[in-house]
Amino acid sequence: MAAILPSRRSVLASLALAAGTAALSGTGVATAVAQASPDPSKPRTKPVIFVVGDSTSSAYQQSERPRAGWGQALPLLLGPQATVFDYAWSGASSKSFADAGLLDRVLALMQPGDYLLISFGHNDEKVADPARGTLPDSTFKEYLGRYIDGARARGGKPVLVTPVERRRFDASGNAKDSHGEYPRAVRELAAASGTALVDLTASSKQLWQELGPEGTKSRFLFLAPGQHPQYPQGSEDNTHFQALGAVEVARLVARELQSKQIVPPGYFLNIGAGTDPLLEMYWPSERPVDLPVTLDVGPGKAFTTVQSAVDSVPNASLQRTVIRIQPGTYREAVRIPATKPRITFAGQGARPEDVVLVYNNASGTPKPDGSGNFGTSGSASVRVDGPDFVARNLTISNDFDEAANLGMKDRQAVALHITGDRSALSNVRLLGNQDTLLVNSPGAGVQARFYFDSCYVEGDVDFIFGRGTAVFSGCQIKSLDRGSTTNNGYVTAGSQDLSIKYGYLFDRCRLVSDAAAGSVHLGRPWHPSGDPKAVAQVLVRDSWLGAHISGTPWTDMSGFSWREARFHEFNNRGPGAQVTPDRPQLPGPEAGSYTVRTYLQGTDGWAPQLEGSTADCSVVPVA
């Protein structure tokens, strides 16, 4: 088959994994992240607006949604001429940010024509803390001068931004100053050094005055208990913003950048546009400033097997571990337990075919300890129970030989069994025959969500199955030819609990096969152990269907009628995309309720499809 080209999302995310340099500890393995300096011979086509500062401007991770900084919201206001990279650090002062090497990291990424928005003050005021405190008329200005000089040395344009005001009011409801002499010091330094200035202190104080003590609560992180799952106890925070506040403060910054002609006309085309920041803003899985631990697997590397690298990851780590897998074939059964979240498998080859994780257990294969057979779920070459898993640019395969084991009763052989919620796979090939991909969850009625972007999945019988919620976006789904002229298998066998609204979505996919025309079904309803509440939900929309798809593409299973399942198509095309009474079509008015976003968002607003989009401030574009 032709190689699958990486999507823009996967390219950008791969760069993000390598951005910056830091020594990391806590795993017992000495690691470092290689710095990704721009190649001067390959300038970017768009300038980048870099944001450095403290928690009020920083980007927050998915587990902290709806908390957001104004730098995280800035991309929502941009036109197509530029992008944003938000490298602000929660708790940082101008001193601690530079002393930690973060300024050098950002400057190494800058190219001529880029902008550096510099916004400190909140933590410089903590003069009792020697690691962060600065004095407004001496060390504060001295440190800010490093940012100005560094940006200019890289051919960039520095912009000083005075600190945004906190939510403070007097007894009469008048907004109060909260930063003492620090905003004045920024203004004086801007004038003395000829640096562009955004006076966010003044504009934010005016906005808070207009909104008043009660109106500002919806902008700051004031949340009722249970309002957002990330904050079950609620929040009353007079410094940090929720999404709406972050967008409004970003508007203040953008308007001044535009009105003072600090940026060219047309940079901020969406300042006045209506937006729903909870839906349109992107929260990455980790903050951009939080560098991952990196482990290398392959010949001559620290680890010779993928499993040994997984085993070295500490339980319950809050830091992402990127396991970089060198080209080669790794014949091993890999297990990521539920106690190990935030693991990334990153294939280091030019194509996903270059890195292959493979094993050959089947359901009927006896376990080495004599305790029975592996069973279908236990046959997986790779099993992932840890949440927030990521895989990119590799192949996962089960090469169990059905033809050589005709005497074995149970020949289901899983390549990937995944239950870890919020898992995202891109440019990944999944290979097998019967039961290739088991998208599962920790238990019946428990939702687990998976995003497959630009992936390739092949098999024959029920080769995408289980009770999980899975989105296949821009994927190629290949049904293998079993040599029959009438029945060459079933693409799906969903078993979602009735309490789970969303099962499988195939969005903008290509369903292909070399099998006989009309010989493959889109799916059948799997009711494990006869469970009547396990009712499959599958939607194939805006996709291309080959001639192998049957004119009656849904069929019964184990006595359960397909007509009682939740099977639909919508706006498909291709020779296999007929519209008949036996092919339920999703009603047009409901199309907006069955999208990539709605399948994945759950209660916590997970939106991996926004990675690498114009809303993403967590990576520097490579072109």
Query: Annotated active-site positions, please?
Result: 55, 236, 240
In terms of Cβ atoms closer than 10 Å to its own Cβ (0-12, 13-18, 19+), residue 22 is: middle
Is 344 strand, coil or helix?
strand
- Please tell me the distance from the alpha carbon of residue 375 to that of residue 365, in angstroms, as a whole number: 8
- The amino acid occupying position 104 is D
Neighbours of 15 (CB within 10 A): 16
Which residues neighbour 287 within 8 Å (Cβ) at sequence distance 6 or greater? 58, 59, 60, 61, 90, 618
Are 524 and 562 contacting, i.e. CB atoms less than 8 angstroms apart?
Answer: yes
In terms of Cβ atoms closer than 10 Å to its own Cβ (0-12, 13-18, 19+), residue 599 is: buried
- The amino acid occupying position 168 is R
Kindly report the CA angle at 336 between 475 and 36, in degrees rounded to 5?
65
Most distant CA pair in the chain, distance: 85
Residue 40 phi/psi, 5-degree rounding, is -60, -25
Are 533 and 564 contacting, i.e. CB atoms less than 8 angstroms apart?
Answer: no
- Please tell me the distance from the alpha carbon of residue 82 to that of residue 115, in angstroms, as a whole number: 10
Residue 236 phi/psi, 5-degree rounding, is -135, 100
Residue 261 phi/psi, 5-degree rounding, is 55, 35
- Please tell me the distance from the alpha carbon of residue 19 to that of residue 16, in angstroms, as a whole number: 5
- Please tell me the distance from the alpha carbon of residue 135 to that of residue 137, in angstroms, as a whole number: 6
